[in-house]
A and B are shown apart, each in its own frame.
Chain A
Amino acid sequence: MTDGRKPLDISSALDPKSVAVIGASRDPDKVGSIILQNYVSSGYAGKLYPINPNADEILGFKAYKSVLELKGKIDTAVIAIPAEFVPKVMAECGKAGVKSVVVVSGGFSEVGNTKLQEELVKVADKYCMPTIGPNCLGVMDPRTRVDTLFLPTYKISRPEIGGVSFMAQSGAVGSTVLDLISGEGFGLSKFISYGNAAHVDETDILEYLIKDRETKVIVMYLEGIKRGKDFFEAAKRASRIKPVVVLKAGRTSAGIKAAHSHTAALAGDYEVQEAVFRQAGFTIAEDLSDLLYYAKVLESEKAPKGPRVAIVTDGGGAGVLTADAIASLSDLKMAEFSNTTKAAIKKTMPPLVNAANPLDLAGDAEETRYSNALSILSNDDNVDMLIVIALFQTPGADSKLASKLIEYKEKCEKPMIVISIGAEYTETHKKMMESSGLPVYDSPASASRALSALYKYYQFRSSR
């Protein structure tokens, strides 16, 4: 069952050979000018065409009065002009053979101007021109160096190249999470803020990200879903190929009014959407921070063979708290070490180290003790996943330990994550590990939930 529309292809907006920036001007503070400047600063290698009827040259580029002067030469047009002029300019884009459009301008249905938005959709349809927006931040891809964000780089950092793609309806949530991603060790594949979703909607974007090879994990922040059945079909397909993490706003919105049955009273709109995500195998986030917690463990693309977790720690208390957090999640279990493991621990560790899970290496543990423990546990068939607690406040923990853990992350076939809690000194090491693809968490609760999400996802995938 579908709602019966083919996906709109947005690939030309993310990997264009040429871009027209409509609304760039000699005034550097204008949105269009910031966008043009961002393309330049990010090192975009394709052709840039500023469009402005009142300028000959902008930022050293020859300016054109209209896209009609550039027939067949433009892959994508970014439009940042007052709303009322947008449909007319889009029609010109259509005539000039522009493949896709990003409308950054606001002033459409979000302020009640639905008529103008309908006009925009009509033009987009007439010229078969996939249109992202209006009222959006647009798109960003650190690989192709596309960047339509009108937020200056000093205000919001741009993430490194990576495997996580993030789509968000809301520009504010989008830019906030983008800023947070740039502070994490993992990088970004695509960022797509799609605003009012007047033409290109969440299902089109999902379809694009399913196919996109650089995208390892899809992260989405949704406010609404336009084509439910198409979305559901795409969602089910997505999870078989790559993990999807979703945060949906609107949990508290009033459900069905005056329900006649218990079923209708229980199954409100949010509950149904959550069921859709669950049935499709999505990882459901409760909060913005969850998006990052889940994304980084899923990006590692390592499938756990089972639910059994081993904890290695240099702090007894942190080990117990983590074991408690594992026990509170119904799908994870604490691993029971094999006899071979127990014997090996007794042989290689100082006598004060007890061969039990959590494996407490004691406060004076340094990289060699961790290394011994990890090589033993990575060979234990009773262990499916590893949590390494590295408290950098202890005397033995320093950058040598961080390097050792990175080394094991490469060697060990089992999923492995780190918990490090602390201020500056810890942060430095956290960055070091994360930028090498080793996920680091700042609490037992977030780490355990991340492993649970990882386990559930691969369980789901192997069972379909």
Chain B
Amino acid sequence: MTLLDYLKAKQLLDKYGIHSIESAYVKSAEEAARFSKGKPIVLKVLSGKALHKSKAGLVRLNLYTEQQIASAYKELYAKAQKLRPYNILAQHMSESGVEIIIGGRTDSQFGKVLLIGLGGIYVEVFRDFALRIAPITRKEAGDMLDQMRSSNVITHGGKNAKQIEELLMKVSALLVKNPEISELDLNPVIVTEKGYEVVDIRVLK
């Protein structure tokens, strides 16, 4: 199984109209500072040798000033040398909201499986998730939300239900049209009253 390059994965999401947070690879602290345009950013080391970035200390959040960006870049650059080949990814900070996971995998029996769950670091503790076989109908997207204990929290009392249902339909289409994808994690996807933003992407082929 191989991990798809982050920006390629982002492009794939773009193609299906799935909105993910603005991201770019940066080769220097100056490039990272230019990317931030004065807004807070995140820096991450991406490498096939470290799948769990946060646990390995390869993520630095909330970098405002040029000084913060420069020191974080220097630190991550040093750590990354052991993880070649690697990229350093700069991303805008997401708004705060409820973290969910949307994912997919290929089941040998039934084909593409679509998942939505309450996300964040407690995904496997709460185990509040719903699964369907893709492709799904709009009605089934709604059923997935209804099935979860946390549906009201996720949809902010129904305010963004429409956007999340549409997101599920789009991920369903992506899975069906790209049979070579064996596993997909959009985790976390930050949902607010107004909509959603995919913050991290992992596509395995």
Contacts and interface: CB of A to CB of B under 8 A. Distances in A.
B185 A261 contact: yes
B113 A265 contact: no
Nearest to A279: B132
Given A276-B133, A463-B139, A263 B110 contact: no
Contacts of B140: 279
Contact of B183 (A264, A274, A279): A264
A260 B110 contact: no
B59 interface: no
Interface residues of B, number: 32
Interface in B158-190: 183-185, 187
A266 B110 contact: no
Given A228-B107, A229-B111, A261 B204 contact: yes
Nearest to B101: A262
Nearest to B127: A266
B105 A232 contact: no
A464 B138 CA distance: 11
Contact of A267 (B51, B113, B139, B202): B113
A228 B108 CA distance: 9
Looking at chain A's contact residues, is the secondary structure mostly helix, strand, loop, or mixed?
A: helix
A259 B111 CA distance: 17
Interface in A257-283: 259-267, 269, 271-272, 274-276, 278-279
B131 A275 contact: yes
A70 interface: no
A263 B139 contact: no
Contacts of A266: 103, 115, 117, 123-124, 127, 129
A279 B123 CA distance: 22
B147 interface: yes
By size class, the interface of chain A is: 20 to 34
A232 B110 contact: yes
B81 interface: no
Interface string B15-51: 0000000000000000000000000000000000001
A263 B111 contact: no
A262 B185 contact: yes
Contact of A260 (B51, B109, B117, B127): B51
B184 A275 contact: no
B1 interface: yes
Contacts of A352: none
B23 to A, nearest CB: 19
A343 interface: no
Nearest to A266: B129
A229 B107 CA distance: 11
A260 B130 CA distance: 19
A180 interface: no
B133 A232 contact: yes
B103 A262 contact: yes
A225 interface: yes
Contacts of B127: 266
Given A278-B147, A279-B140, A261 B110 contact: no
Contact of B133 (A265, A269, A275): A275
Contact of B111 (A1, A269, A271): A1
A271 B105 contact: no
B147 A263 contact: no
Interface string B109-147: 111010101000001100101111100000110010001
Nearest to B140: A279
Nearest to B128: A266
Contacts of B110: 228-229, 232, 272, 276
A264 B109 contact: no
A262 B129 CA distance: 11
24 contacts: A228-B108, A228-B109, A259-B183, A260-B1, A260-B204, A261-B103, A261-B105, A261-B184, A261-B185, A261-B204, A262-B117, A262-B185, A263-B103, A263-B104, A263-B183, A266-B123, A266-B127, A267-B107, A267-B129, A272-B107, A272-B113, A275-B132, A279-B143, A464-B139
Interface of B: 1, 51, 101, 103-105, 107-111, 113, 115, 117, 123-124, 127, 129-133, 139-140, 143, 147, 183-185, 187, 202, 204
Given A265-B124, A266-B123, 4 more contacts: A228-B110, A229-B109, A261-B103, A274-B131
